[in-house]
């Protein structure tokens, strides 16, 4: 019995998305990889076609769909091995902060543009000296009348170049308790004092724009704060469950795609006049890796079902994020050996897959952080 139940509407959505990607994304991926960025126009095309923010209510222009639409988007993007158009980051990680914690005025102002692709979002938590430690952040937000003045810097910000709206985490330096000092703010592109730094040249996810962001006496209205002052840490904790689940989904779907490539290669590649997959060592390797992938799929699907039921699965999503992202790296590394020398050629899709897989165990909180979170919540 399947854990996740997809309706006819879900499958129609999947079919439309697959057609869209085949026409509007796949033919241009190699050029975008060279350019180190996707054009903003593809975001608008994806939005107008109905593939961004599917969970946003119809009141704000979305589909009002359930989390299964997000599963489909993640799976179909993994199928074409593309990370530049970071739809899951925008739709399932950043925009939910506005959906859940934004005022009615903020929702009406920003959500329709997020759905249409006219507004590309980013979330700015990571800092040069803080990394995954939210309590260690130094970016400040100080009230000044009806304004808030922001000073500080963020780094490794996905969508950092293309973003039109940033969900920014900053602290009130007057509050000594670092957890109670954190608030989230909405900062629009072209706000005076907000500047982009380097467009970071990464190993992997080449067409996904990642940048440094700088805030120097950046004035925004107090009305741009998400929720109550000092509620930022709790807001982040509440949404990190879904972020880590989305990471685990991406890792499993990527691993499945790797195994599809590996199986096809081993069927058609001849060694000593017989297919590579007729050798026992290769058979054992494929069986072992496929077992890991199927275990990951079952675990993640169960967590998706629990998440849709509103269950608290912080421990389990932390476990899933670290295990699945470690798993996809194991699978990619082992399949590189099966492919042999050809795997290191840029013309071989395995080279891109291996690069793209590596960072999965680092972003959204390193896997060491995931283990620490699970241990804490388990009472250790």
Q: Is the pLDDT of residue 134 over 80?
A: no
Q: Active-site residue among 243, 288, 301, 341?
A: 243
How confident is the model at residue 93, as a pLDDT? 96
How confident is the model at residue 365, as a pLDDT? 86
Rounded mean pLDDT of 130-149?
85
Q: Is the pLDDT of residue 133 over 70?
A: no
Q: Is the pLDDT of residue 52 over 80?
A: yes
| 8 Å CB contact between 175 and 231 | no
The residue ranking higher by pLDDT, 253 or 270, is 253
Percentage, residues of the chain above pLDDT 90: 85
| 8 Å CB contact between 268 and 275 | yes
User: Residue 265, Cβ neighbours under 10 Å: how many?
Assistant: 20
Q: Is 205 helix (H, G, I), strand (E, B) or coil?
A: coil
Which pLDDT tens digit goes with each residue over 269-293? Answer: 988 889 999 999 999 999 999 999 9
Residues shown for the chain: 380
- The bridge status of strand 182-188 relative to strand 140-144 is unpaired
How far is CA 250 from its chain centroid? 8
How confident is the model at residue 349, as a pLDDT? 87
How confident is the model at residue 191, as a pLDDT? 97
How confident is the model at residue 121, as a pLDDT? 98
How confident is the model at residue 339, as a pLDDT? 92
| 8 Å CB contact between 41 and 88 | no
How confident is the model at residue 165, as a pLDDT? 98
Q: Is the pLDDT of residue 213 over 80?
A: yes
CATH of 122-230, one of 3.90.1150.10, 2.40.110.10, 3.30.70.260, 3.40.1390.10: 2.40.110.10
Percentage, residues of the chain above pLDDT 70: 99
Lowest mean pLDDT among 93-102, 163-172, 322-331, 350-359: 350-359
Rounded mean pLDDT of 310-328?
96
Q: Is the pLDDT of residue 206 over 70?
A: yes
| 8 Å CB contact between 334 and 278 | no
Half-sphere exposure of 289 (CA within 13 A, CB side): 27
Rounded mean pLDDT of 48-69?
96
Torsion of CA 167, 172, 177, 178, to 10 degrees: 40
Query: Catalytic annotation on 260?
Result: no
CATH of 8-119, one of 1.10.940.10, 1.10.540.10, 1.10.275.10, 3.30.720.210: 1.10.540.10
Looking at the structure, give the CATH architecture of the domain made up of residues 233-377. Up-down Bundle (1.20)
| 8 Å CB contact between 249 and 304 | yes
Rounded mean pLDDT of 163-173?
96
Q: Is the pLDDT of residue 151 over 80?
A: yes
The whole-chain average pLDDT of the chain stands at: 94
| 8 Å CB contact between 300 and 324 | yes
Torsion of CA 150, 151, 156, 160, to 10 degrees: 50
Which pLDDT tens digit goes with each residue over 97-128? Answer: 999 999 999 999 999 999 999 999 999 999 98
Helix residue ranges per DSSP H, the chain? 8-24, 29-35, 40-48, 67-79, 87-88, 95-101, 104-116, 178-181, 232-268, 280-308, 314-339, 349-358, 367-377
How far is CA 255 from its chain centroid? 16
Rounded mean pLDDT of 328-355?
91
CA distances from 19 to 76, 174, 181, 261, 375 (A): 10, 53, 46, 21, 43
> If pLDDT is split at 50, 70 and 90, which confidence band does 299 have?
very high
How far is CA 244 from its chain centroid? 8
Contacts within 8 Å (CB) and 24+ apart, 37-44: 37/84, 37/161, 37/162, 37/199, 37/207, 37/209, 38/84, 38/85, 38/162, 38/207, 38/208, 38/209, 40/120, 40/162, 42/85, 43/85, 43/117, 43/120, 43/162, 44/116, 44/117, 44/118
How confident is the model at residue 131, as a pLDDT? 66
**Domain locations in the chain as residue ranges:** 8-119, 122-230, 233-377
């Amino acid at each position: 019995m399947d854990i996740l139940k997809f309706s006819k509407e879900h499958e129609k959505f999947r079919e439309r998305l697959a057609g869209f990607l085949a026409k509007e994304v796949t033919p241009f991926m190699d050029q975008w990889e060279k350019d180190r960025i996707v054009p903003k126009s593809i975001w608008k095309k994806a939005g107008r076609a109905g593939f961004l923010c599917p969970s946003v209510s119809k009141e704000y222009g979305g589909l009002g769909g359930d989390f299964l639409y997000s599963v489909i988007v993640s799976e179909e993007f993994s199928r074409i091995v593309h990370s530049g158009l970071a739809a899951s980051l925008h739709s399932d990680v950043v925009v939910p902060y506005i959906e859940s914690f934004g005022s009615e005025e903020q929702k009406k102002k920003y959500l329709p543009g997020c759905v249409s692709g006219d507004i590309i979002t980013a979330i700015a938590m990571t800092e040069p000296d803080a990394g995954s430690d939210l309590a260690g952040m130094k970016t400040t937000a100080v009230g000044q009348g009806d304004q808030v003045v922001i000073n500080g810097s963020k780094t490794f910000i996905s969508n950092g170049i293309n973003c039109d709206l940033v969900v920014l985490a900053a602290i009130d330096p007057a509050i000594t308790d670092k957890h109670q000092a954190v608030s989230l703010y909405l900062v629009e592109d072209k706000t005076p004092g907000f500047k982009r730094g380097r467009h970071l040249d990464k190993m992997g996810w080449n067409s996904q724009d990642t940048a440094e962001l700088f805030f120097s006496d950046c004035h925004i209205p107090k009305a741009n704060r998400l929720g109550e002052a000092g509620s930022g840490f709790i807001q982040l904790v509440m949404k990190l469950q879904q972020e880590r689940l989305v990471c685990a989904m991406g890792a499993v779907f990527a691993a499945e795609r790797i195994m599809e490539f590996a199986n096809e290669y081993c069927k058609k590649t001849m060694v000593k006049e017989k297919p590579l997959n007729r050798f026992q060592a290769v058979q054992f390797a494929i069986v072992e890796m496929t077992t890991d992938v199927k275990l990951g799929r079952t675990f993640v699907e169960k967590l998706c079902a629990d998440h849709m039921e509103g269950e608290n699965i912080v421990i389990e999503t932390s476990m899933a994020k670290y295990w699945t992202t470690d798993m996809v790296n194991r699978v990619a590394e082992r399949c590189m050996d099966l492919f042999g020398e050809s795997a290191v050629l840029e013309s071989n899709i395995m080279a891109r897959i291996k690069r793209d897989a590596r960072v999965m165990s680092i972003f959204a909180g390193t896997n060491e952080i995931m283990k620490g979170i699970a241990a804490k919540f388990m009472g250790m």
